[in-house]
Chains A and B, each alone.
Chain A
Amino acid sequence: MLTIAGRKFRSRLFGGTGKFSSPEVMKESLAASGCEMVTVALRRVDLNNPADDIMRVLDRDRYLFLPNTSGARDAGEAIRLARLARASGGGEWLKLEVTPDPRTLLPDPIETLKATEVLVKEGFKVLPYINADPILALRLQDAGAVAVMPLGSPIGTNQGVLTRFQIEIIIAQARVPVIVDAGLGAPSHVAEAMEMGADAVLVNTAIAVAGDPVRMARAFALAVEAGRIAYEAGLGAVRKDAAPSSPEDGLGFLR
């Protein structure tokens, strides 16, 4: 079973709550995914529609909230969002995101490390979203991050695990759980990440924008489970040259 900061998770699939066509579709999809932790963002209340409240459909007893700091462009903005999240009843868990460039949404490693150092001291359980940088992952765990969340590919791109080489190193070195986040666009992508030994994956866009998000959530859940079982079972070695699966002996009768 996966344990992060002392909390146990049966499911190794974490869900996002953005981009769903309706709160009801989101609720049903999260249920189908079997996830136990969900990300949420913080934004201004829409004064023209103050009744619009995602909390109407999200069951706090069922899901651990992982508020994100999406939209933050530097450490200061991320820290402000983190404090607002805690004051909103979001708890201590935090997906720390610092993305200064709206075109790539790639995380700023220096600002992310700075914010982690401050927020860990304030008692947050910090899960930083990072580029797949093994050295940064080590620096963050030394700074007190309870997990690291390297990206497979840029947010919302559905391109899969483009950072395989670096993520393999992160997994080999990490003392904290490794959650592959961002860009995982198909069940095969999450299966790949889990087969590599990732502790968990986080999926939002690929489920939310699917033709049938509820069925897609189920497909992702199965792929995460399959990938994890395969990792635990031990995959066969990759080799360059062919090796016959059938016996080479006993063919004397042919020639």
Chain B
Amino acid sequence: MKIVCNGQALEIAPGTRVADYLSQLGLETPSVVVECDGMILSREEYESHALQDGSVLELIRFVGGG
């Protein structure tokens, strides 16, 4: 199935949960926040939240800024 993550169209396995996807990217860090289809997910939701075909995911973190 197709999702869009950080503006990039990607193909992922059906049934992939947010936790699985973050694990694939090596991003199991508390400093990354996940917004799925406009909703911020809490960390407790990563295990249960399955990505859907067409899901729009934003992975956001702190960067240097003034």
**B63 adjacent to A42 (CB under 8 Å):** yes
Interface membership of A170, Cβ < 8 A: no
Asked whether any CB of chain B lies closer than 8 Å to the CB of A100, the reply is no
Interface residues of B in 21-41 (CB under 8 A from A): 25-27, 29-33, 35, 40
Q: Give the complex CA separation of A156 and B65 in angstroms.
A: 11
Chain A CB within 8 A of B5 CB: yes
Contacts of A112 on B, CB cut-off 8 Å? none
Q: Considering the complex, give the chain A residue whose CB is closest to the CB of B61.
A: A45
Q: Verify if A147 is at the interface (C-beta below 8 Å from B).
A: no
Total chain B interface residues with beta-carbon distance under 8 A: 24
Query: Which of B8, B25, B27, B63 is close to A43, meaning CB atoms less than 8 Å apart?
Result: B63
Closest Cβ of chain B: how far from A246's Cβ, in Å? Answer: 47
With a CB–CB cut-off of 8 A, which chain B residues contact A18?
A: 63-66
CB <8 Å contact, B61 and A43: yes
Q: Which residues of B sit under 8 angstroms from A204, Cβ to Cβ?
A: 65-66
Instruction: Tell me, yes or no, whether A226 is within 8 Å of chain B by CB.
Output: no
Contact partner of B32 (CB less than 8 A), chosen from A20, A45, A85, is: A45
Q: What string of 1s and 0s marks CB contacts (under 8 Å) between A12-51 and chain B?
A: 0000111110000010000000000001111111010011
- Taking a contact as CB atoms under 8 Å apart, the answer to whether A47 and B65 are in contact is no
Q: Report the Cα distance A16→B63, complex, angstroms.
A: 11
| Interface 9-mer from A86-94, A120-128, A185-193 | A86-94
In the complex, how many angstroms separate the beta carbon of A63 from the nearest chain B beta carbon? 12
Q: Which residue of B lies closest to A83 (CB)?
A: B40
Measured CA separation A239–B5 after assembly (Å): 63
Chain B CB within 8 A of A101 CB? no
14 examples of A-B residue contacts, CB within 8 angstroms: A18-B63, A40-B63, A41-B62, A43-B61, A44-B7, A45-B27, A53-B61, A54-B61, A55-B61, A55-B62, A67-B62, A68-B65, A68-B66, A83-B40
B interface residue numbers (CB < 8 A to A): 5-8, 25-27, 29-33, 35, 40, 42, 58-66
A interface residue numbers (CB < 8 A to B): 16-20, 26, 39-45, 47, 50-51, 53-55, 65, 67-68, 70, 83-85, 87-90, 155-156, 202, 204-205
